[in-house]
Amino acid sequence: MRVIHCGIAGDLPGGMAQVVNEYLSWTVAGLEQGYLLTTKGKRDPLSPLRSARAASAIVAMRRARARTLLIFHISERGSFLREGLLLLLARWLGFRCIAQVHGANFDQFAARYPKFVGYILRKASRTLVLSERSRRAAFHLGIDALRVNNPVWVPQENDVGGKEEIVLFCGEVSLRKGVDVLLDAWSRLREVGDWKLIVVGPGQLPMSGFFPDGIENVGALSHESAMEVCARASIAILPSRDEALPMFILEAMARRCAVISTPVGQIDSVLADGCGIIVPVGDAVATATALQRLIDSDKLRRELGDSARRKVIAEYSSDVVSARLVSIWREVLGER
């Protein structure tokens, strides 16, 4: 069986790229994987050219369509149009295809363009989603989507490293990710001692003068470098206003960080059962209170971090997720 992922992959910003990268790292008997790059992310001026090259590659693969499964990693807006049109081409050529929906605002996009979204997804052999909200949005369009978990690579215990007095935010530096709430919360802390806040990610907010003294804004890093910081961090924070299933949360849990986040997408279920702290969206006071609790308590940080790592290993590790996903892939392709 040959599986080709269409969308974004490689060492590029964004959780979708990291999900695809994790798929590509799997070694499964009888399975060959590859990818077709259609974009390098938001505002990529070469996306139309990359999509045209992907379309040409799909046409060239048509003789092998009986053993080839194409998975289109779809978000909203331009991504849905771009990957959706490629999915239509692939189906017209006789490929079996999976549409995998990643976007945090897919439900809003589907409600705004129900005919277009429904038409594209009904053409797919199967639709996979990451959140219950996206599953319900697909259901309203008459599509019985399957909810799947994002896979995460879990480092060995001795690779997690000694924890330092670091609070880490990793993601797009934007209002959607709640960076304004985080900075407001940090300014409200009573006493931080030697603790420091490190902000990692590409920025959409004005950088000059935005970050107060004592906050380390390092900008975008390679995924490997970001995970090195994550392994050293004691606390991970993502006060997002909108998400599906953010990879940073899972990666931080795998590295035994105590996590603070908001009840959007699947985050509340991921952090349930003592695996993290949930704070209301946009609430800087509650966020500051949660941060202060963790900064002040070694015991609480250790308990949350240990519970988080155990949960990721049991439910989100690549070993667990790959077994289910590869079974779905084989079923769609007719190889049981």
Same domain, 137 and 171: no
Residue 110, domain CATH: 3.40.50.2000
How many domains does one find in the chain?
2
Same domain, 284 and 325: no
- b/e map of 99-131 (b: 16 or more CB within 10 Å)? bbbbbbbbbebbeebeeebbebbebbbbbbbbb
Same domain, 284 and 309: yes
Q: What are the respective helix, strand and coil percentages of the chain, to the nearest 5? A: 45, 20, 35
Same domain, 138 and 162: no
pLDDT band at 335 (very low <50, low <70, confident <90, very high): low
Same domain, 133 and 163: no
Same domain, 207 and 254: yes
Q: What is the pLDDT of residues 148-195, one digit of tens each?
A: 999 999 988 777 768 999 999 999 899 999 999 999 999 999 888 899
78-92 vs 47-60: helix crossing angle, rounded to 10? 20
Same domain, 131 and 278: no
Same domain, 90 and 196: no
Same domain, 217 and 296: yes
Residue 9 has pLDDT above 90, yes or no: no
Phi, psi torsion values for 164, nearest 5 degrees: -115, 170
Same domain, 162 and 128: no
Residue-number span of the structural domain to which 226 is assigned: 157-316
Q: What is the pLDDT of residues 276-286, one digit of tens each?
A: 999 999 999 99
pLDDT of residue 208: 47
Nearest to 179 by CA among 250, 237, 251: 237
The mean pLDDT of the chain is 91
C-alpha span between 3 and 327 (Å, rounded): 12
Same domain, 168 and 194: yes
Same domain, 53 and 83: yes
Q: What is the pLDDT of residues 123-153, one digit of tens each?
A: 999 999 988 889 999 999 999 999 999 999 9
